[in-house]
Amino acid sequence: MVNLTIDNISVSVPSGSTILQAAQAVGLKIPTLCYHPDQTVKANCRVCLVEVEGARGLQAACSQTVVEGMVVRTSTPLVFKARKAVVELILARHPQDCLNCVRNGCCELQDLAQELGIREIPYAREIKGMPQDKSTPSLVLDPDKCILCRRCLTVCQEVQTVNALGLRARGYQTSVGPAFYQQLNESTCVMCGQCTQVCPTGALAEREEIDKLLDALADPSKIVVTQMAPAVRVALAEEVGLPTGELDMLTLVGGLRRLGFHRVFHTNFTADLTIMEEGHELLERLNNGGTLPMLTSCSPGWINFIETFYPDLLDNLSTCKSPQQMFGALVKTYWAQKAGVDPAQIYSVSIMPCTAKKYEAARPEMQDSGYQDVDLVLTTREIGKLFRMAGIDLKQVPPSEFDPWMGAYTGAGVIFGATGGVMEAALRTVYEVVTGNELANLDFTVCRGMTGIKEAEVDLAGTQVKVAIAHGLGNARQLMERIRAGEADYHFVEIMACPGGCIGGGGQPRQTDNAQRAIRIEAIYQEDVALALRKSHENPEVKQLYTEFLGQPLGDKSHQLLHTHYQAKSKKLK
Ligand code: SF4
Ligand code: SF4
Ligand code: SF4
Ligand code: FES
């Protein structure tokens, strides 16, 4: 341990700790901008300057490691002045249109300017005037609002290994974006939105589409229906001032009705349905010599990734649509028939933890109902904004039940929200279908947790089934390289584009770091264990759907509505 004093407080921290970590250990806040707890230290913004006795000049607390006997001061007039000058220089090159910015009220730069009491900018204003990139349905890149902290580069290049973003030009002209000033839709970007999770400003953000929902709600000819993904409830709690996971599901349903939705359903219903279809697809491949390993297909950022980087492995992908798109196809066919409603009137909104879902919904092949299956995708962040806009306090809303036929779900559907959850849900069903026996223990704990790549072997009535799970595209890439090289003998592989799975999705509340991901995952499994039904094949409304409409898993109607195909993307690869 190393002993030092910070602001006259004695601190003892492990050797190798930074001044910032030592200060945090005793509850002292040092402002930061380029620092992110999950990333390597970049030390390029100089916002975290502190005085260190005996050192020449001020030191960056995020990069300077502690030494025995060090004396640090974090709040002296010299320090305040220096930090203020740093932020003033950033603001001199910043548009400062806070009032109409996507990050107004949740911007790290804005907070810093406020905390430092900045009232005027004593430097000449120099705004680059670069155009916004709105080329994808998922993201907006506004280079003028970039402070060159490079957090997005770390996540895009090192965590996701996509390399869609880089630094362009030099000096004052430096900006972040795809190489050669391409638009994002011309780059390898898979729209995972992880860059929007870490960006401290409004430079990278989801494409906000709240107004489209308001237009639909105002249209008397429309029946506005909604589905929400399992990861939404746990994290939306954070947006509305509750501890993670403590937003009651039926209260959320009540809140959505107050917003004006005419029908409220759950994506968990089609998560259970996905297990029925995907589980049977796996069995068919195992029994009939199909392409193995079968790869899951419910994460649209992952689909974009494999279509871009591993098109030679597309036959390995399950043909199942994602739960979002299965829901979209069914609500305008099955539900419309049962409710006696003209599907043309249905406006189908999904609430997702994911920015890539916006792209997925807009894919031209996603119109098997005869209409655009999902009309609008809003992220968890957007629905949080909408609740605030409407003045709805979710702590005070009375609960309400889901609407019938597409709202029932089991714990297996819930755990889709966490890395390993699709695999665990599939194993619960496949085991019972194959063996005809009831599973004694539903908890496949080997599938759980934040380890980047998990592997397991499961005994299915004498057949050993080898499975693997990866979350985050860097981990997915490692698995794909091994599969491509013939070095992996898995039967079934789950991939989620986002670290931690959907609970860490690009559209979730910001400040998502690995510690927060672990808390959200815990909340997902608590919900699973509290439910009476925890196996997809026991979902009563899924059974009803097969009896009344689909017939059987992998039947003709399923193939028409619930399965899809993939295409190699001809993007320039790096
Ligand atoms: S990025 Fe932040 S500081 Fe810049 S305009 Fe938007 S809210 Fe204001
Ligand atoms: S959305 Fe994902 S792939 Fe695209 S730029 Fe951001 S981090 Fe990179
Ligand atoms: S786009 Fe955002 S995360 Fe990336 S360098 Fe600029 S400010 Fe930082
Ligand atoms: S936070 Fe330390 S230099 Fe940016």
Per residue in 551-574, pLDDT (tens digit) is 999 999 999 999 999 999 875 443
Q: With contact defined as beta carbons under 8 Å apart, do 301 and 497 qualify? A: yes
Known catalytic residues are 278, 281, 298, 318, 357, 360, 365, 502
Q: Rounded distance, CA 214 to CA 390, Å?
A: 11
Determine if ligand 2 sits within 6 Å of the CB of residue 542: no
Residue 361's domain comprises 211-562
Q: Which ligand has the nearest atom to the CA of 199?
A: 3
Q: With contact defined as beta carbons under 8 Å apart, do 296 and 419 qualify? A: no
pLDDT of the residue at 65: 98
**pLDDT at position 18 over 60:** yes
Q: Give residue 282 CA to ligand 1 midpoint distance, Å.
A: 48
Helices 323-330, 267-288: inter-axial angle, 10-degree rounding:
110
Cβ atoms within 10 Å of 214's Cβ, excluding its own: 15
> Is position 81 within any domain?
no
Same domain, 336 and 414: yes
CATH number at residue 144: 3.30.70.20
Q: Give residue 139 CA to ligand 4 midpoint distance, Å.
A: 26
Same domain, 181 and 271: no
Q: What is the best residue among 87, 94, 116, 152 to mutate for testing ligand 1's pocket, by most ligand atoms within 8 Å of CB? A: 94
Structure confidence at residue 391 as a pLDDT band (50, 70, 90) = very high
Q: Which ligand has the nearest atom to the CA of 141?
A: 3
Which residue has the CA at smallest separation from atom 7 of ligand 3?
Answer: 146
Q: Which 3 state secondary structure label does DSSP give 208?
A: coil
Q: Rounded distance, CA 484 to CA 310, Å?
A: 8
**pLDDT at position 113 over 90:** yes
Q: What DSSP assignment string belongs to 131-173?
A: PPB--SSSEEE-GGG-----HHHIIIIIIS-----EEESSGGG
pLDDT of the residue at 48: 98
> Is position 119 within any domain?
yes
Q: What mean pLDDT do residues 214-238 have?
A: 97
Q: With contact defined as beta carbons under 8 Å apart, do 221 and 345 qualify? A: yes
Ligand 1 atom having least distance to the Cα of 113: 3
> Is position 571 within any domain?
no
Q: Give residue 429 CA to ligand 2 midpoint distance, Å.
A: 34
Q: Which of 191, 192, 163, 193 is nearest to 178 (CA)?
A: 163
Give percent of the chain above pLDDT 90: 95
Q: Rounded distance, CA 344 to CA 215, Å?
A: 16
Task: Name all residues whose Cβ lies below 6 A of ligand 4.
Answer: 32-35, 43-48, 60, 62
Ligand 1 atom having least distance to the Cα of 104: 7
Q: With contact defined as beta carbons under 8 Å apart, do 571 and 187 qualify? A: yes
pLDDT of the residue at 571: 53
Helices 473-484, 300-309: inter-axial angle, 10-degree rounding:
40
Domain end, chosen from 49, 75, 101, is at: 75
Does the interface predicted TM-score (ipTM) exceed 0.85? yes
pLDDT digits (tens, 9 = 90+) for 334-349: 999 999 999 999 999 9
Which residue has the CA at smallest separation from atom 3 of ligand 1?
Answer: 110
Which residue has the CA at smallest separation from atom 8 of ligand 2?
Answer: 156
Q: Give residue 2 CA to ligand 2 midpoint distance, Å.
A: 39
Task: Name all residues whose Cβ lies below 6 A of ligand 1.
Answer: 94-98, 101, 103-104, 107, 109-110, 145, 201-202
Q: What mean pLDDT do residues 533-555 have?
A: 98
Number of domains forming the structure of the chain: 3
pLDDT digits (tens, 9 = 90+) for 94-112: 998 999 999 999 999 999 9
Q: With contact defined as beta carbons under 8 Å apart, do 494 and 470 qualify? A: yes
Q: With contact defined as beta carbons under 8 Å apart, do 134 and 189 qualify? A: no
> Is position 14 within any domain?
yes
pLDDT of the residue at 573: 47
Same domain, 171 and 253: no
> Is position 316 within any domain?
yes
pLDDT of the residue at 319: 98
pLDDT digits (tens, 9 = 90+) for 114-143: 999 999 999 999 999 999 999 999 999 999
Same domain, 173 and 219: no
CATH number at residue 70: 3.10.20.740
Domain end, chosen from 144, 175, 206, is at: 206
> Is position 258 within any domain?
yes
> Is position 221 within any domain?
yes
Same domain, 98 and 144: yes
Same domain, 316 and 182: no
pLDDT digits (tens, 9 = 90+) for 480-529: 999 999 999 999 999 999 999 999 999 999 978 999 999 999 999 999 99
Q: Which of 564, 561, 566 is nearest to 328 (CA)?
A: 561
Cβ atoms within 10 Å of 123's Cβ, excluding its own: 13
Determine if ligand 3 sits within 6 Å of the CB of residue 33: no
Q: What is the best residue among 204, 206, 511 to mutate for testing ligand 3's pocket, by most ligand atoms within 8 Å of CB? A: 204
Give percent of the chain above pLDDT 70: 99
Same domain, 15 and 112: no
Determine if ligand 2 sits within 6 Å of the CB of residue 194: yes
pLDDT of the residue at 572: 46
Whether the upstream peptide bond of residue 77 has omega within 30° of 0, thus cis, is no
Q: What mean pLDDT do residues 148-167 have?
A: 98
Q: Rounded distance, CA 261 to CA 349, Å?
A: 9
Same domain, 129 and 238: no
Q: With contact defined as beta carbons under 8 Å apart, do 349 and 378 qualify? A: yes
Q: Which 3 state secondary structure label does DSSP give 563?
A: strand
Report which secondary-structure segment, H or E, holds 328. Answer: helix 323-330
Same domain, 322 and 409: yes
Q: What is the best residue among 18, 42, 151 to mutate for testing ligand 4's pocket, by most ligand atoms within 8 Å of CB? A: 42
Same domain, 374 and 296: yes
CA dihedral in degrees (362, 264, 275, 526; nearest 10)?
120
Ligand 1 atom having least distance to the Cα of 98: 8
Quote the tokens at residue 532: 């009476």
Domain end, chosen from 51, 75, 99, is at: 75
Cβ atoms within 10 Å of 276's Cβ, excluding its own: 27
Average pLDDT over the chain reads: 96
> Is position 80 within any domain?
no
pLDDT digits (tens, 9 = 90+) for 399-446: 999 999 999 999 999 999 999 999 999 999 999 988 899 998 999 999
Which residue has the CA at smallest separation from atom 8 of ligand 1?
Answer: 98
Q: Rounded distance, CA 181 to CA 173, Å?
A: 12
Same domain, 34 and 50: yes
Q: Give residue 178 CA to ligand 4 midpoint distance, Å.
A: 24
Same domain, 497 and 367: yes
